[in-house]
Amino acid sequence: MIAPTLACADWLNLEREIAVMDRAGVDLYHIDLMDGHYVPNLCFNLDILRAIGRVSGTPLDIHLMVTDPLDYVERLAACGVERACAHLDCFRDPGIFLEALEERGIKKGLALSPGDGAERLEPWLERLDYVLVMLVSPGFSGQQPRPELFEKVAELDRLRRERGLSFLIEVDGGVSWENAGPLVERGADILVSGLFASLDRRGELGERTRSFRARSRSLRERHTEKELTG
């Protein structure tokens, strides 16, 4: 699955670019919400979320980079958001956040910053629909990924297998044509595609998005076949 990050879209032509990517068949739109405190930047706001929902039926995948994620849950539900995650280090008790999402029918995720080990999620894995693994520091686009963090994907996949769980592993930050294969081989299910993949601005947006989606699906199918025969 691919989830183009709309932070890398052309904001002056956002509706047009969404229409092009919709026709290309994207799986999700990854949308960063920042508060200027947890990270020193701002990105999309709730009004833009509602506007996106009016022009596209593609599910919205919300990445909260905010100090108090609980403040956003009710408003995200009102925007019709399908899935949301926040960073583990925002909480004293992540369970309260997960319960709030669950009550509103929103798929539940927790995000790991580069300094967070996969083992920190162990108490919550059975309640999660997905885990977001950051390969870069949150809050800034265009960063090169840190290859040593790829093994965190493999560690989460190992934990998933050992426990017989079904949470998805989403990867964000510097995902590219070159590293998509190694990430899927380690267990990644969802690739957040930005400046180095479907939104790299080389060639036509729809064709580039279709090609990257096809590549990610082919990698996943080969990985699944290898698992079944291995």
Structure tokens at 173: 């930050």
Please indicate whether residue 200 is annotated as part of the active site.
no
Q: Are 35 and 10 in contact (CB under 8 A)?
A: no
Query: Domains in the chain, start-ordered, CATH in brackets?
Result: 2-229 (3.20.20.70)
Please indicate whether residue 32 is annotated as part of the active site.
yes
How far apart are the C-alpha atoms of 148 and 38, rounded to whole Å? 24
Q: Which residue out of 35, 129, 172, 189 is catalytically annotated?
A: 172
CA distances from 18 to 7, 86, 120, 223 (A): 12, 24, 36, 29
**pTM above the 0.85 mark?**
yes
pLDDT score for 148: 87
Q: Which residue out of 32, 61, 129, 189 is catalytically annotated?
A: 32
pLDDT score for 154: 94
Structure tokens at 210: 């279709």
Per-residue pLDDT of the chain (230 residues; tens, 9 = 90+): 999 989 888 889 999 999 999 999 999 999 999 888 888 777 888 889 899 989 999 999 999 999 999 999 999 999 989 999 999 888 889 999 999 999 999 999 999 998 898 988 989 999 999 999 998 876 566 667 678 888 999 999 999 999 999 999 999 988 888 888 999 999 999 999 877 777 777 878 889 989 988 888 888 888 777 666 66
56 CB burial (10 A radius; 0-12, 13-18, 19+): middle
DSSP percent split of the chain into helix, strand, coil, nearest 5: 45, 20, 35
pLDDT score for 228: 64
109 three-class SS: strand
